[in-house]
Structure 1
Amino acid sequence: MKVCVYGAGAIGSLIAGRLACVSGIEVSVVARGEQLDAISRQGIHIVDASGEVTAHVKATDNPASLDVQDYVFLALKQHQLLDVVNSIEPLIGENTSLIPPTTGIPYWYFYGQPGAHGNRRIDRLDPGGTLWRAIPPQRVLGCVFRVAAQVVAPGAVHQDGSYAKLPLGEPDGSVSARVRRLSEAMCAAGFESPVVDNIRSWLWTKMISSLCWNPVAALTLATWGELAASPGVVDVVRRMMQEADAVACALGGPPPIAVEERLAAARSAPHHKMSMLQDLERGRPLEYQPLADSIEAMRDIAGLGTPTIDSVLALLRLRANRG
């Protein structure tokens, strides 16, 4: 099996490094800068609850130097996807499956869904259908990255806590040979990665978590555990989750994990800093727009209001604009 991970941030490095430790899987990484240099020289160093491991992979900044792949993880920020759609062409063969990012609601959300919204294209999330054409939904597998990790040095990634659930699913809910094969590989790599028939519901779970925890972390500069220890903050996050859950339910994808269980998840990695806070501390742009676009596009389709979410995002926009 050939797997390429396009993007060597925390999640991409963790997936690539763990898969590279599985016999029979040839892993390559498309990276740049210090990450590329470090991975090329010394591999990917992973530290997690079970210990440490260093995995060696083929690393490049030129996808054309790689072979056609069986699976390509696009481990990028949502807003970076359009910038790389042309460069991934050398990786794609007749049977290549693509796993796009799921920071927010993906452009292919309604593909293969029965009912009134079946195959509906969401123009706000994919203006003009550019991604729909460049990464056809029939090539897509959904994967939800429910794991806390951060790059601690070039080529080194630390997984916070032991929770690492990455469910996989076909957009139409079927259990295909390709999704079973990838699930087996991911499980062999140490992830809890079952095949699910409701990948949209899991997408909502991840998106809602990012939408609710990330902004309050960036506004308060608090770790996950510090947020969870504040009853007032937890109440705000709870109301945000309930508003987003109502939109999900209206569009056929109720999250499979209850709000209180999602709130409790913060206690599993109390020292973890949410990705938006990590970006803020490193002087990077805050990736809130895909989340805002996702909830606003979907709530408009559902015809529902999200007043608490709107208020928190208004504060976050002001924070982001201050640099």
Structure 2
Amino acid sequence: MKREPRICIAGMGAIGSLLAASLSSRPVNLSLVARGETLRTLQQNGLTCRKDGQVTTFRVSADIRAPDEIQDVILLAGKAHHLPDLVQTIRHAVGPETCVVPVVNGVPWWLLPQLGIGPEAVARVNGILDPENRLSALPPTCIVGCVAYAFARVEKPGEVSVEGPSRFVIGDAVGGSNTQARTVMGWLGEKDTLFQISTDMKTEIWNKLSLNVATNFLSVLCETTLEGLVTDAAIRPLVSRCLSEILMLGQACSIERLFPVPKGMEIISAGGTHATSMLQDFHAGRPLELAALGDVIIALGRHKSVPLTTTETLLGLTRYASTRRNTTHTKGTLHVH
């Protein structure tokens, strides 16, 4: 009899909670890594998911680190700046055949050597993402790249709201055989509709990156939805310029089959009244993913001599807004939302 696959999800934000809710009803040995109030809620009350007008609570196994046994699949679902610490909670559970799937926005550390920038530049840029080389210590052959298309929000610790269908595109980080990605699909079920395999993860990641860069900074600065970003006459040109800049940078990195700016605008508009993850983090007082979505992009642009004037300006303004939120002045309190 085939045993149940051991699957661990590390990081219980919106995406990690969505994945946990999706996998909890499947025949898998699922474990979750969380901390603080979220961990206490998961252990005492379970995970609550609100979707399509229904509320479901799942009993889950959660702890501050992965189980003390080798896992078949580990999904790293934290923000990019959390990954170096998060990987410390699962390293002991990574075996020779474990598939590690980082589900993050921005440029992942493992993609840098594939962008044609040379080893010195790779090391320099990687220092932004992984200053202590904790992520780089993972064997590249165990990494399965992932791009998430999902609308989810943590309402409170242990409770997530999901709107619409979700889709996670996966593919091997190195090589074109997708051996590891097919292994993941084998553990999850060959007819899985939540996960889809791509033969070109570099393009998948860059296309999603362009959408993130073009919307996240502006969503914080303008406090508007995805639809609002492309329907407002004053904001729309800035979105278009960001898409164009990231497209040019991708082409300079020899990435093929990138979608054109009009297609990007169409995809963003289809997001409707959803708020970006960065705007959610901003309102909640959480750190923003400025390094993975901004600093790394600017560093790559300088190395490739691709001007990213609009992107760099919006990044700087967003960093200022983040620093100044809830700052108290002698003449009162300035609230930057």
Q: TM-score, normalised by structure 2?
A: 0.85
Matching residue within 222, 227, 230 for 1:228? 230
Counterpart of 2:245, as a letter, is E
Task: Give the aligned partner of residue 160 of structure 1.
Answer: 163
Task: Give the aligned partner of residue 298 of structure 1.
Answer: 300
Query: Could you tell me how far apart the structure 2 residues matched to 1:321 and 1:86 are?
Result: 28
Q: Deviations over 1:140-179 (max 9, x none)?
A: 11001121211112222112333x2211111234233431
8 Å CA contact 2:211–2:268 kept in 1: the answer is no
Q: Displacement, 1:52?
A: 4.2
Counterpart of 1:152, as a letter, is E
Q: Which secondary structure does the structure 2 equivalent of 1:145 belong to?
A: strand
Report whether the alignment pairs 1:137 with 2:130.
no
8 Å CA contact 2:185–2:192 kept in 1: the answer is no
Task: Give the aligned partner of residue 125 of structure 2.
Answer: 124
Task: Give the aligned partner of residue 276 of structure 2.
Answer: 274
User: What is the 5 A alignment of 1:77-116?
Assistant: 77-111=79-113, 113=114
Task: Give the aligned partner of residue 71 of structure 2.
Answer: 69
Q: Displacement, 1:233?
A: 1.4
Report whether the alignment pairs 1:28 with 2:31.
yes
Q: Displacement, 1:83?
A: 1.9
* Unmatched segments (≥5 aa) in structure 1: none
8 Å CA contact 1:167–1:195 kept in 2: the answer is yes
Counterpart of 1:137, as a letter, is P
Matching residue within 6, 17, 42 for 1:2? 6
Query: Could you tell me how far apart the structure 1 residues matched to 2:132 and 2:95 are?
Result: 22
Query: Could you tell me how far apart the structure 1 residues matched to 2:316 and 2:298 are?
Result: 13
Q: Displacement, 1:128?
A: 6.4
Aligned residues: 318
Counterpart of 2:216, as a letter, is N
Matching residue within 174, 181, 184 for 2:183? 181
Task: Give the aligned partner of residue 328 of structure 2.
Answer: none
Counterpart of 1:79, as a letter, is H
Q: Which secondary structure does the structure 1 equivalent of 2:197 belong to?
A: coil
Report whether the alignment pairs 1:17 with 2:21.
yes
Task: Give the aligned partner of residue 309 of structure 1.
Answer: 311
Query: Could you tell me how far apart the structure 1 residues matched to 2:57 and 2:301 are?
Result: 44
Query: Could you tell me how far apart the structure 1 residues matched to 2:193 and 2:55 are?
Result: 13
Counterpart of 1:140, as a letter, is I
Query: Could you tell me how far apart the structure 2 residues matched to 1:280 and 1:129 are?
Result: 26
Q: Displacement, 1:293?
A: 1.9
Query: Could you tell me how far apart the structure 1 residues matched to 2:83 and 2:183 are?
Result: 25
Query: Could you tell me how far apart the structure 2 residues matched to 1:154 and 1:290 are?
Result: 25
8 Å CA contact 1:110–1:119 kept in 2: the answer is no
Select between 135-144 and 44-53 the one with higher mean Cα deviation: 44-53
CA RMSD after TM alignment: 2.6
Q: Which secondary structure does the structure 2 equivalent of 1:3 belong to?
A: strand
Task: Give the aligned partner of residue 151 of structure 1.
Answer: 154
Select between 39-48 and 123-132 the one with higher mean Cα deviation: 123-132
Pair 268,321 (structure 1): closer, same or farther in 2 beyond 3 Å: same
Q: Which secondary structure does the structure 1 equivalent of 2:8 belong to?
A: strand
Pair 187,43 (structure 1): closer, same or farther in 2 beyond 3 Å: farther
User: What is the 5 A alignment of 1:192-231?
Assistant: 193-231=195-233
Task: Give the aligned partner of residue 41 of structure 2.
Answer: 38
Counterpart of 1:15, as a letter, is L
Report whether the alignment pairs 1:55 with 2:58.
yes
Larger-gyration structure (1/2): 2
8 Å CA contact 2:178–2:199 kept in 1: the answer is no
Counterpart of 2:10, as a letter, is Y
Matching residue within 243, 246, 261 for 1:244? 246
Select between 2-11 and 177-186 the one with higher mean Cα deviation: 177-186
Counterpart of 1:156, as a letter, is E
Q: Displacement, 1:5?
A: 0.6
Q: Displacement, 1:264?
A: 2.2
8 Å CA contact 2:249–2:301 kept in 1: the answer is yes
* Unmatched segments (≥5 aa) in structure 2: 326-337
Q: Displacement, 1:317?
A: 2.0
Query: Could you tell me how far apart the structure 2 residues matched to 1:114 and 1:204 are?
Result: 11
